[in-house]
Amino acid sequence: MAKQPRAWQRMLSGRRLDLLDPTPVDIEIEDIAHGLAFVARWNGQTRGDWPYSVAEHSLLVETLFSRLCPRASAADRLTALLHDAPEYVIGDMISPVKAAVGPEYGKLDDRLSAAIHIRFGLPALTAKTLKRQIKKADTVSAWMEATEIAGFSKDEADRFFGHPSAEIREGLTIGPRPPVEVREEFTRRHAELLGQL
C-alpha cells in the first residue's frame, strides 16, 4: 500500500495546518503575519535591500480599499487586509504561474481563505461586490508596485493594470522594509480591525 504524501505544515505557533482540509482552529494571526512578511511579491524581482512582501502589499491594499470605499465596515477592511492571507502557506505565485498550475491552485486558496475568514469572524465566502472592490484596490497596488519597484514603465503597467488616479495614490509610496517591521505592523493592524468588529 502506497504511503500518502504529507499534506500538512507545522507552523511556528505549534499548529499543524492541514492544507487539504484546513480548520479555523489551526489558524493563528502570528503565523499568517510571519509567513506573509517573508513571502516576496513579484518572485523577488524588486528593487531594494529587502523583498517586497505580501504583508506589505496587504497593508497597502487595505489602505487603498479604505480610500476607495470610505464607508466600508471594519469587517470589510479586515477582509481586504486578509485578501492574500492563504499565501502564508502556499506562497505568492505570479499570474502566469497560476494560469499554468490551473484550477487546483484556486481551490486550495479558497479552502484556506474560508478557514481564515471563519477564524476571525468573517463570512467564509466573500461577497462578489466586496471581492470586486478589493480587487480594484489590489490592481492599484499592483500598478504602484510595478512602476515603483518592479521595473515596469508606466505605459507597460497601464496596459496590464490600467492607470489609477493620482488622487487614490496621493501620499503613498512603496519602500520595502525588514520583515520584522512589516510583521509587527500587519499584526497591529489586524488587532485594530478585529477590535472594531
Mean pLDDT of 154-182: 96
Structural domains in the chain, sorted by start: 23-195 (1.10.3210.10)
Residues 22, 40: Cα–Cα separation, whole Å: 23
Spatial CB neighbours of 162, under 8 Å, sequence gap ≥ 6: 139, 143
pLDDT tens digits, residue range 1-40? 667 677 888 999 999 999 889 999 999 999 999 999 999 9
What rounded mean pLDDT belongs to the chain?
Answer: 94
Beta bridge pairs of residue 42: none
Residues 34, 45: Cα–Cα separation, whole Å: 20
Can you give the pTM of this predicted structure?
A: 0.94
Cell, residue 190? 489586524
Cβ pair 82, 117 in contact under 8 A: yes
pLDDT tens digits, residue range 96-117? 777 777 777 888 899 999 999 9
